[in-house]
Chains A and B, each alone.
Chain A
């Protein structure tokens, strides 16, 4: 039993790591969608964050600057998106897609100069997993939460902050109102454009930070397309989490866990008499589950789980 508990703890620990970049990105996407803007550029912003973050980390050796650079890169990407979709009222889907292609290209260009390089020790040391005494000995969840890189823990803290911000503050209330009914928000004196810009850009910063988790902490090195589609998973996880930052934690960690389950089941499924499933099929697990969850949520139609009412619609003041 002890062996099982131990391996469960280690499994949860890895799952949290594999879910961290997705969690940051999901939170970023939630912030954008809460003001009514569906941003399909998550993948692009993550890649920009990953490449700029790595580049600055390599040149300065300063972990804080690296994270700031990653946030800035993601934020700039989001700013372009916000300008086109908020101010110019361009099509959100097309703009988001272009932002992803754009981000992939930019990161590829930055990546030329940093691929194959190793990070300075100051960075790896700052982001290394550190066990917090006592707390990390808590059964089951101790290792997952308290024997981790500070980056993993910051993702959790960020999720709580975003939750509190959206649901417990008056600014958050205004933010949600902008996404639900911008005309009413405008009438009550809320600066719709300002709210949209600031939330979209802040969300972009989170996406950039999420991407940098891979290049700075988890891998840690640069490779082309390092996010490998995590940005798209994040877009889907927003729906999975029903726009709730706390549920996003569960979604992101589940995604990380499914990746790990695939490796575990290669030798055969223990409870089904060791039936062997091809590893290609196992690699599909997280994506299959994502589709299933999307279907399930679509069928359930609970009122509090619905998207912001004006998600995807540009706001024309004149048409009020």
Chain B
């Protein structure tokens, strides 16, 4: 089991008014899975992803990552997990401006303990997303779809076990969006665990399992067979 959440609760304190965003989430994800988390805005899906992605700590409940209880991890421990064992892809790419594609992809390596082959590893990651010929472009000189592929390369460069993608196609046209999703599909086939947050069923159908969340609770958790996928896709198309 790669990820195991047990009764995760997250409260936000808004000036004395306590809002419960996650109300007892139980969720397990195996290595190699491709999970889509769906839900309307305000349902808590982003908070859930931030919690699984170690950007936020739950108010209570336990979180086992790769067999380890993460409750007692220090901030530095969490930073190391974010660096080495997970990768993030955001809706708005979050590339560094005035910086080359290659330097953007090398950035996570500069926070890792490894000192060697930064450039070679970054090139390899960029080739994996089909941007081996854009190394020296400035991050603001490429298209949105390419930006998101750079962001995926950046998430891949430290060879993490799991990739979190938060609305990765939200800022893209449908064609670039499809290209990005194809890359995620390919990565999943190669063994990466992928956890995707989206409100778009077309995007979610790339996953093999859809977890739906509403009002801070999981209301459904379904495996998707390949026939389902074809069926639903044609239904929507």
**Are A and B bound to each other?**
no
